[in-house]
Amino acid sequence: MENVQPGTGNATEQPVPYNLIKDGPNDERLTAPEMGHLWEMYLYNGSVKCQLQYFTAKAEDPEIRGVLEFALQTKTTRLDKITKMFNTVGFPVPHGFTDEDVEPNAKRLYSDSFMLVYIRNIINFELVESMMGLTRAIRTDVKEYFNASIDESQDLLKKADEVLLRKGVFVKPLNFPLPDRIEYVYQDTFYGGLTGDKRPISSLEVTHVYTRLQTKMLERTLVLGFSQAVQSQKVQKLLSKGKQMIDKQIEGWSKILQDEDFPLPVTWEHQITDSSESPFSDKLIIFTVLTMMRNSIILLGISLANCSRLDIVTAFSASIVKLQAYTKDILDLMINSGWLEKIPQTIDRMEIINQKQ
């Protein structure tokens, strides 16, 4: 996107010219995966930091506020670490999100319990991204960053779970009957069909269907709250489209559980207040939804790899296609609004050649 200006991070160290660092055993350049993961996590941590600034200002329960404040502290630390690494190699720090994207004094939009459950949910994304970043990193400082992020996320998860359990709002996983013998599969009916008789659902399959439903119900509540507070009609229209898509996914996945006589996860719509005052900029809201949809695609991919029954595989596959299309709609709006920072790309050799002709 051509109208996006480069980042203007304040370097505290003298940057090393990126094009002067040589190949060899002491090559200190950021590799492509290091650059991509750090760039992505800078934007992500900045967006969550803004949300946490508002959440901590609104939280009334001391225990919940304590966990949210700890989460906010980790986001501030991570942003500082990434900024330092970028400055060290002369990499332009992204604009990301600032205090201008959050209004901590806005009216309460969500309950304390929902804010904590939401933060707990996005830890899944942090752990997946941090693990991928760690396994692809070469530089010691990048490895240390992702190691620390994983440790912090695990600590945050533990703190959140302890508080949610004490408050009686922790949503426990489903129970499942113990098998009484070892069995092998000898028929292709194991895959089942789209109609007619299906084999009983497996423990892994019910886990993934139930967990994806939990996430979708949280997404629905978040999007519903954003919809009543957002300022732009274009953004509100896109959020309404997203809610309709989420509703259809919830309906389809719920039927899978209901057909097996399993209970459905709790809903959270009652945790939204009647406020129409937006605590976040439209840019932050739409980026949050974009991140949420991308996270959903990643987790659905993991679920697909662990499910064999054809109706479940088909439902998850169709959802990924719908999510990809909706993600493109979000990106189009961000581009047209001048909100989409360009991820680092390789050199366009043909453009250079054409400029010389």
What's the CATH number where 132 sits? 1.20.1260.10
Q: How many domains does the chain have?
A: 2
| 236 and 160 both lie in a single domain | no
Identify the pLDDT of residue 196: 61
Identify the pLDDT of residue 353: 82
| 164 and 204 both lie in a single domain | no
- Residue 338's contacts (CB-CB under 8 Å, 6 or more residues apart) are 1, 3, 4
Identify the pLDDT of residue 171: 80
3-state secondary structure 198-219: CCCCCHHHHHHHHHHHHHHHHH
Cβ neighbours, 10 Å, residue 63: 16
| 249 and 301 both lie in a single domain | yes
Residue 353 lies in a domain: no
Encoded amino acid at 119, one letter: I
Identify the pLDDT of residue 5: 40
| 110 and 241 both lie in a single domain | no
Residue 202 in tokens? 């497996």
Identify the pLDDT of residue 185: 85
> Whole domain around residue 98: which residue ranges?
30-170
| 72 and 160 both lie in a single domain | yes
Encoded amino acid at 340, one letter: L
Residue 240 in tokens? 């309404």
Identify the pLDDT of residue 26: 52
Kind plus residue range of the DSSP H or E element containing 350: helix 349-356
| 114 and 231 both lie in a single domain | no
CA dist., res. 168 & res. 165, Å (int): 5
Residue 202 lies in a domain: yes
| 122 and 223 both lie in a single domain | no
Residue 304 lies in a domain: yes
CA dihedral 353, 354, 355, 357 (to 10 degrees): 100
| 245 and 303 both lie in a single domain | yes
Encoded amino acid at 227, one letter: S
Burial per residue of 167-182, b for 16 or more beta-carbon CB atoms within 10 angstroms, e otherwise: eebbeeeeeeeeeeee
Q: What is the mean pLDDT of each run of 10 residues along the chain (357 residues)?
A: 42 46 60 95 97 98 97 97 95 96 97 96 90 94 96 96 93 86 83 73 95 95 96 95 97 95 93 96 98 95 94 96 98 97 85 80
